[in-house]
Structure 1
Protein backbone atom coordinates (compact mmCIF):
# COMPACT_ATOMS: atom_id res chain seq x y z
CA UNK A 1 0.00 0.00 0.00
CA UNK A 2 1.32 3.42 -0.89
CA UNK A 3 2.09 5.79 2.01
CA UNK A 4 -0.26 8.50 0.74
CA UNK A 5 -3.12 6.04 0.44
CA UNK A 6 -2.42 4.68 3.94
CA UNK A 7 -2.24 8.14 5.46
CA UNK A 8 -5.42 9.25 3.70
CA UNK A 9 -7.32 6.21 5.01
CA UNK A 10 -6.13 6.82 8.56
CA UNK A 11 -7.11 10.49 8.31
CA UNK A 12 -10.50 9.65 6.82
CA UNK A 13 -11.27 6.99 9.41
CA UNK A 14 -10.13 9.01 12.43
CA UNK A 15 -13.43 10.81 12.97
CA UNK A 16 -15.35 7.53 12.82
CA UNK A 17 -13.07 5.75 15.29
CA UNK A 18 -13.08 8.60 17.80
CA UNK A 19 -16.77 9.49 17.58
CA UNK A 20 -17.75 5.81 17.40
CA UNK A 21 -15.89 5.05 20.64
CA UNK A 22 -17.22 8.20 22.33
CA UNK A 23 -20.84 7.61 21.31
CA UNK A 24 -20.67 3.92 22.18
CA UNK A 25 -19.71 4.81 25.74
CA UNK A 26 -22.21 7.66 26.10
CA UNK A 27 -25.15 7.44 23.69
CA UNK A 28 -27.42 9.43 26.02
CA UNK A 29 -26.20 12.81 24.85
CA UNK A 30 -27.36 12.01 21.28
CA UNK A 31 -30.78 10.57 22.15
CA UNK A 32 -32.74 13.86 21.97
CA UNK A 33 -31.30 14.68 18.55
CA UNK A 34 -31.65 11.19 17.08
CA UNK A 35 -35.06 10.30 18.52
CA UNK A 36 -37.22 12.05 15.86
CA UNK A 37 -35.41 10.28 13.03
CA UNK A 38 -35.37 6.89 14.75
CA UNK A 39 -39.09 7.22 15.55
CA UNK A 40 -39.77 7.67 11.83
CA UNK A 41 -37.65 4.64 10.89
CA UNK A 42 -38.97 2.35 13.64
CA UNK A 43 -42.06 1.11 11.70
CA UNK A 44 -39.87 0.15 8.74
CA UNK A 45 -37.45 -1.74 10.98
CA UNK A 46 -40.27 -3.56 12.76
CA UNK A 47 -41.72 -4.62 9.40
CA UNK A 48 -38.35 -6.16 8.52
CA UNK A 49 -38.05 -8.00 11.81
CA UNK A 50 -40.06 -7.53 14.98
CA UNK A 51 -37.01 -8.60 17.04
CA UNK A 52 -34.85 -5.65 15.93
CA UNK A 53 -34.36 -3.32 18.90
CA UNK A 54 -35.67 0.12 18.06
CA UNK A 55 -34.99 2.15 21.17
CA UNK A 56 -32.92 5.20 20.41
CA UNK A 57 -29.96 4.47 22.69
CA UNK A 58 -29.53 0.95 21.29
CA UNK A 59 -29.68 2.25 17.71
CA UNK A 60 -27.05 4.88 18.54
CA UNK A 61 -24.84 2.22 20.11
CA UNK A 62 -25.22 -0.06 17.07
CA UNK A 63 -24.33 2.78 14.70
CA UNK A 64 -21.39 3.78 16.90
CA UNK A 65 -20.04 0.23 17.14
CA UNK A 66 -20.34 -0.13 13.37
CA UNK A 67 -18.47 3.13 12.83
CA UNK A 68 -15.76 2.13 15.30
CA UNK A 69 -15.16 -1.29 13.74
CA UNK A 70 -15.40 -0.13 10.12
CA UNK A 71 -13.20 2.88 10.92
CA UNK A 72 -10.53 0.61 12.36
CA UNK A 73 -10.76 -1.67 9.33
CA UNK A 74 -10.33 1.29 6.99
CA UNK A 75 -7.42 2.69 9.03
CA UNK A 76 -5.56 -0.63 9.13
CA UNK A 77 -6.11 -1.42 5.45
CA UNK A 78 -8.28 -4.48 6.09
CA UNK A 79 -11.32 -4.87 3.82
CA UNK A 80 -11.04 -1.18 2.99
CA UNK A 81 -13.61 -1.04 0.23
CA UNK A 82 -16.42 -2.74 2.19
CA UNK A 83 -15.45 -0.76 5.31
CA UNK A 84 -15.72 2.51 3.36
CA UNK A 85 -19.16 1.51 2.07
CA UNK A 86 -20.33 0.61 5.57
CA UNK A 87 -19.07 3.94 6.91
CA UNK A 88 -20.85 5.76 4.08
CA UNK A 89 -24.03 3.93 5.02
CA UNK A 90 -23.73 4.91 8.68
CA UNK A 91 -22.94 8.50 7.81
CA UNK A 92 -26.27 9.10 6.09
CA UNK A 93 -28.52 8.60 9.15
CA UNK A 94 -25.96 10.30 11.37
CA UNK A 95 -26.02 13.38 9.18
CA UNK A 96 -29.79 13.43 8.80
CA UNK A 97 -30.35 12.98 12.53
CA UNK A 98 -27.60 15.20 13.83
CA UNK A 99 -27.38 18.15 11.47
CA UNK A 100 -30.88 19.16 10.44
CA UNK A 101 -29.87 22.77 9.84
CA UNK A 102 -33.11 23.56 8.02
CA UNK A 103 -35.02 23.12 11.29
CA UNK A 104 -32.90 25.59 13.31
CA UNK A 105 -34.36 29.02 14.07
CA UNK A 106 -31.20 30.31 15.73
CA UNK A 107 -28.86 31.63 12.98
CA UNK A 108 -25.72 30.54 14.85
CA UNK A 109 -27.00 26.98 15.40
CA UNK A 110 -28.28 26.87 11.82
CA UNK A 111 -24.89 27.93 10.44
CA UNK A 112 -23.06 25.45 12.71
CA UNK A 113 -25.29 22.55 11.67
CA UNK A 114 -25.03 23.54 8.01
CA UNK A 115 -21.23 23.46 8.23
CA UNK A 116 -21.32 20.01 9.85
CA UNK A 117 -23.85 18.80 7.27
CA UNK A 118 -21.56 19.92 4.43
CA UNK A 119 -18.52 18.45 6.21
CA UNK A 120 -20.32 15.11 6.36
CA UNK A 121 -21.15 15.37 2.66
CA UNK A 122 -17.42 15.82 2.04
CA UNK A 123 -16.67 12.78 4.20
CA UNK A 124 -19.27 10.83 2.24
CA UNK A 125 -17.51 11.78 -0.98
CA UNK A 126 -14.17 10.66 0.45
CA UNK A 127 -15.69 7.37 1.57
CA UNK A 128 -17.18 6.76 -1.86
CA UNK A 129 -13.75 7.37 -3.40
CA UNK A 130 -12.20 4.96 -0.89
CA UNK A 131 -14.87 2.39 -1.72
CA UNK A 132 -14.07 2.70 -5.42
CA UNK A 133 -10.29 2.65 -4.93
CA UNK A 134 -8.73 -0.50 -6.34
CA UNK A 135 -5.20 0.53 -5.27
CA UNK A 136 -4.08 0.69 -8.87
CA UNK A 137 -5.19 -2.85 -9.58
CA UNK A 138 -7.87 -3.49 -12.17
CA UNK A 139 -11.40 -3.60 -10.81
CA UNK A 140 -13.82 -6.47 -11.29
CA UNK A 141 -15.60 -4.72 -14.14
CA UNK A 142 -12.37 -4.24 -16.07
CA UNK A 143 -11.22 -7.77 -15.34
CA UNK A 144 -14.51 -9.25 -16.52
CA UNK A 145 -14.51 -7.15 -19.69
CA UNK A 146 -10.88 -7.95 -20.35
CA UNK A 147 -11.47 -11.67 -19.81
CA UNK A 148 -14.46 -11.59 -22.17
CA UNK A 149 -12.40 -9.75 -24.79
CA UNK A 150 -9.55 -12.22 -24.34
CA UNK A 151 -11.96 -15.15 -24.66
CA UNK A 152 -13.45 -13.69 -27.85
CA UNK A 153 -9.99 -13.28 -29.33
CA UNK A 154 -9.12 -16.86 -28.41
CA UNK A 155 -12.31 -18.18 -30.00
CA UNK A 156 -11.76 -16.11 -33.15
CA UNK A 157 -8.16 -17.35 -33.35
CA UNK A 158 -9.33 -20.97 -32.92
CA UNK A 159 -11.96 -20.52 -35.65
CA UNK A 160 -9.38 -19.07 -38.07
CA UNK A 161 -6.98 -21.93 -37.29
CA UNK A 162 -9.72 -24.52 -37.77
CA UNK A 163 -10.70 -22.99 -41.14
CA UNK A 164 -7.09 -22.91 -42.27
CA UNK A 165 -6.54 -26.53 -41.22
CA UNK A 166 -9.80 -27.57 -42.92
CA UNK A 167 -8.66 -25.93 -46.17
CA UNK A 168 -5.31 -27.70 -45.93
CA UNK A 169 -7.09 -31.02 -45.30
CA UNK A 170 -9.40 -30.46 -48.29
CA UNK A 171 -6.42 -29.65 -50.52
CA UNK A 172 -4.54 -32.71 -49.25
CA UNK A 173 -7.57 -34.91 -49.89
CA UNK A 174 -8.01 -33.48 -53.38
CA UNK A 175 -4.33 -33.99 -54.14
CA UNK A 176 -4.49 -37.57 -52.82
CA UNK A 177 -7.45 -38.36 -55.11
CA UNK A 178 -5.58 -37.10 -58.16
CA UNK A 179 -2.54 -39.24 -57.51
CA UNK A 180 -2.56 -42.56 -59.32
CA UNK A 181 -2.59 -45.29 -57.02
Structure 2
Protein backbone atom coordinates (compact mmCIF):
# COMPACT_ATOMS: atom_id res chain seq x y z
CA UNK A 1 0.00 0.00 0.00
CA UNK A 2 1.38 3.38 -0.87
CA UNK A 3 2.29 5.96 1.75
CA UNK A 4 -0.50 8.23 0.53
CA UNK A 5 -3.11 5.51 1.04
CA UNK A 6 -1.69 4.64 4.47
CA UNK A 7 -2.14 8.26 5.56
CA UNK A 8 -5.23 9.25 3.59
CA UNK A 9 -7.49 6.31 4.42
CA UNK A 10 -7.37 6.78 8.21
CA UNK A 11 -7.73 10.55 7.82
CA UNK A 12 -10.81 10.15 5.63
CA UNK A 13 -12.27 7.38 7.78
CA UNK A 14 -11.86 9.36 11.00
CA UNK A 15 -14.75 11.69 10.18
CA UNK A 16 -17.10 8.78 9.53
CA UNK A 17 -15.96 6.88 12.63
CA UNK A 18 -16.34 9.94 14.86
CA UNK A 19 -19.80 10.67 13.46
CA UNK A 20 -20.85 7.05 13.99
CA UNK A 21 -19.54 6.95 17.56
CA UNK A 22 -21.33 10.23 18.38
CA UNK A 23 -24.61 8.83 17.03
CA UNK A 24 -24.15 5.59 18.96
CA UNK A 25 -23.56 7.54 22.18
CA UNK A 26 -26.70 9.60 21.63
CA UNK A 27 -29.50 7.32 20.37
CA UNK A 28 -31.95 10.21 20.71
CA UNK A 29 -30.19 11.80 17.73
CA UNK A 30 -32.06 9.28 15.57
CA UNK A 31 -35.21 11.38 15.87
CA UNK A 32 -34.37 12.98 12.52
CA UNK A 33 -34.90 9.56 10.95
CA UNK A 34 -38.64 9.53 11.72
CA UNK A 35 -39.75 10.90 8.33
CA UNK A 36 -37.31 8.74 6.38
CA UNK A 37 -38.29 5.57 8.24
CA UNK A 38 -42.00 6.34 7.78
CA UNK A 39 -41.45 6.90 4.07
CA UNK A 40 -39.45 3.68 3.70
CA UNK A 41 -42.03 1.73 5.71
CA UNK A 42 -44.85 2.98 3.50
CA UNK A 43 -43.10 2.01 0.26
CA UNK A 44 -42.72 -1.69 0.96
CA UNK A 45 -44.47 -4.24 3.14
CA UNK A 46 -41.04 -5.70 3.95
CA UNK A 47 -39.89 -2.37 5.37
CA UNK A 48 -43.06 -1.81 7.39
CA UNK A 49 -41.37 -3.50 10.36
CA UNK A 50 -39.14 -0.42 10.61
CA UNK A 51 -42.02 1.86 11.57
CA UNK A 52 -41.36 3.14 15.07
CA UNK A 53 -37.82 1.74 15.03
CA UNK A 54 -35.98 5.00 14.32
CA UNK A 55 -33.58 4.42 17.19
CA UNK A 56 -32.66 0.95 15.91
CA UNK A 57 -32.22 2.23 12.34
CA UNK A 58 -30.04 5.06 13.65
CA UNK A 59 -27.90 2.65 15.64
CA UNK A 60 -27.56 0.34 12.62
CA UNK A 61 -26.43 3.25 10.44
CA UNK A 62 -24.01 4.45 13.11
CA UNK A 63 -22.64 0.97 13.75
CA UNK A 64 -22.18 0.44 10.03
CA UNK A 65 -20.25 3.69 9.80
CA UNK A 66 -17.98 2.78 12.70
CA UNK A 67 -17.32 -0.74 11.39
CA UNK A 68 -16.82 0.29 7.75
CA UNK A 69 -14.74 3.30 8.78
CA UNK A 70 -12.49 1.13 10.92
CA UNK A 71 -12.02 -1.41 8.14
CA UNK A 72 -11.30 1.36 5.65
CA UNK A 73 -8.79 3.04 7.98
CA UNK A 74 -6.97 -0.27 8.38
CA UNK A 75 -6.97 -0.91 4.64
CA UNK A 76 -9.13 -4.03 5.00
CA UNK A 77 -11.77 -4.53 2.30
CA UNK A 78 -11.27 -0.92 1.18
CA UNK A 79 -13.68 -0.95 -1.77
CA UNK A 80 -16.48 -2.63 0.17
CA UNK A 81 -15.99 -0.54 3.31
CA UNK A 82 -15.80 2.71 1.34
CA UNK A 83 -18.99 1.78 -0.52
CA UNK A 84 -20.75 1.23 2.81
CA UNK A 85 -19.41 4.59 4.01
CA UNK A 86 -20.67 6.21 0.83
CA UNK A 87 -24.18 4.82 1.34
CA UNK A 88 -24.45 5.59 5.06
CA UNK A 89 -22.77 8.96 4.62
CA UNK A 90 -25.18 9.95 1.86
CA UNK A 91 -28.19 9.04 4.02
CA UNK A 92 -26.82 10.93 7.00
CA UNK A 93 -25.81 13.97 4.94
CA UNK A 94 -29.24 14.22 3.34
CA UNK A 95 -31.13 13.79 6.61
CA UNK A 96 -28.83 16.20 8.41
CA UNK A 97 -29.36 18.83 5.71
CA UNK A 98 -33.14 18.37 5.71
CA UNK A 99 -33.50 18.59 9.51
CA UNK A 100 -31.02 21.38 10.27
CA UNK A 101 -32.56 24.64 11.43
CA UNK A 102 -32.26 27.39 8.84
CA UNK A 103 -34.25 30.32 10.15
CA UNK A 104 -31.47 32.84 10.70
CA UNK A 105 -28.69 33.95 8.37
CA UNK A 106 -26.09 32.23 10.57
CA UNK A 107 -28.04 28.96 10.58
CA UNK A 108 -28.39 29.07 6.80
CA UNK A 109 -24.66 29.69 6.43
CA UNK A 110 -23.81 26.83 8.83
CA UNK A 111 -26.24 24.56 6.96
CA UNK A 112 -24.61 25.30 3.59
CA UNK A 113 -21.10 24.90 5.03
CA UNK A 114 -22.09 21.54 6.50
CA UNK A 115 -23.58 20.47 3.16
CA UNK A 116 -20.36 21.39 1.33
CA UNK A 117 -18.24 19.54 3.92
CA UNK A 118 -20.43 16.43 3.68
CA UNK A 119 -20.42 16.59 -0.13
CA UNK A 120 -16.63 16.79 -0.11
CA UNK A 121 -16.36 13.76 2.16
CA UNK A 122 -18.79 11.83 -0.02
CA UNK A 123 -16.80 12.75 -3.13
CA UNK A 124 -13.57 11.56 -1.54
CA UNK A 125 -15.09 8.30 -0.35
CA UNK A 126 -16.67 7.77 -3.80
CA UNK A 127 -13.22 8.02 -5.36
CA UNK A 128 -11.90 5.59 -2.75
CA UNK A 129 -14.68 3.12 -3.51
CA UNK A 130 -13.39 2.67 -7.07
CA UNK A 131 -9.67 2.78 -6.21
CA UNK A 132 -8.19 -0.58 -7.09
CA UNK A 133 -4.93 0.11 -5.21
CA UNK A 134 -2.95 -1.17 -8.18
CA UNK A 135 -4.88 -4.44 -8.28
CA UNK A 136 -7.16 -5.19 -11.18
CA UNK A 137 -10.86 -4.62 -10.62
CA UNK A 138 -13.32 -7.49 -10.34
CA UNK A 139 -14.74 -6.63 -13.77
CA UNK A 140 -11.27 -6.82 -15.34
CA UNK A 141 -10.56 -10.14 -13.57
CA UNK A 142 -13.89 -11.57 -14.75
CA UNK A 143 -13.17 -10.47 -18.32
CA UNK A 144 -9.74 -12.09 -18.28
CA UNK A 145 -11.15 -15.30 -16.76
CA UNK A 146 -13.84 -15.36 -19.43
CA UNK A 147 -11.18 -14.98 -22.14
CA UNK A 148 -9.14 -17.84 -20.63
CA UNK A 149 -12.19 -20.10 -20.40
CA UNK A 150 -13.14 -19.35 -24.01
CA UNK A 151 -9.60 -20.02 -25.23
CA UNK A 152 -9.34 -23.25 -23.24
CA UNK A 153 -12.78 -24.37 -24.48
CA UNK A 154 -11.70 -23.81 -28.09
CA UNK A 155 -8.53 -25.81 -27.46
CA UNK A 156 -10.42 -28.70 -25.85
CA UNK A 157 -13.00 -28.66 -28.62
CA UNK A 158 -10.28 -28.74 -31.25
CA UNK A 159 -8.52 -31.64 -29.47
CA UNK A 160 -11.77 -33.62 -29.21
CA UNK A 161 -12.54 -33.06 -32.89
CA UNK A 162 -9.00 -34.13 -33.86
CA UNK A 163 -9.27 -37.32 -31.77
CA UNK A 164 -12.70 -38.10 -33.17
CA UNK A 165 -11.40 -37.54 -36.69
CA UNK A 166 -8.45 -39.86 -35.97
CA UNK A 167 -10.79 -42.56 -34.63
CA UNK A 168 -13.05 -42.48 -37.64
CA UNK A 169 -10.25 -42.32 -40.20
CA UNK A 170 -7.94 -44.92 -38.74
Please report the RMSD computed on the Cα atoms of aligned residues, expressed in angstroms.
3.1
* Cα-to-partner distance string for 1:50-76 (whole Å, 9 max, x where unaligned): 444643222211111111111111111
Structure showing greater radius of gyration is 1
Q: Which has the larger displacement, 114-123 or 36-45? A: 36-45
Query: In 2, distance between residues paired with 1:104 and 1:148?
Result: 54
Listed as ranges, the gaps of 5+ residues in structure 1 are 166-181
Question: Residue 87 of structure 1 is aligned with which of 79, 85, 88?
Answer: 85
Quick check: 1:73–1:80 contact (8 Å CA) kept in 2? yes
Quick check: 1:95–1:117 contact (8 Å CA) kept in 2? yes
Q: Which residue of 1 aligns with 2:36?
A: 37
What SS does the corresponding residue of 1:134 show, helix, strand or coil?
Answer: coil
Listed as ranges, the gaps of 5+ residues in structure 2 are 163-170
Quick check: 1:81–1:133 contact (8 Å CA) kept in 2? yes
Matches within 5 A, 1:98-117: 98-100=96-98, 104-117=102-115
Query: In 2, distance between residues paired with 1:101 and 1:21?
Result: 20
Query: In 2, distance between residues paired with 1:157 and 1:35?
Result: 61
Matches within 5 A, 1:44-63: 44=43, 47-52=45-50, 54-63=52-61
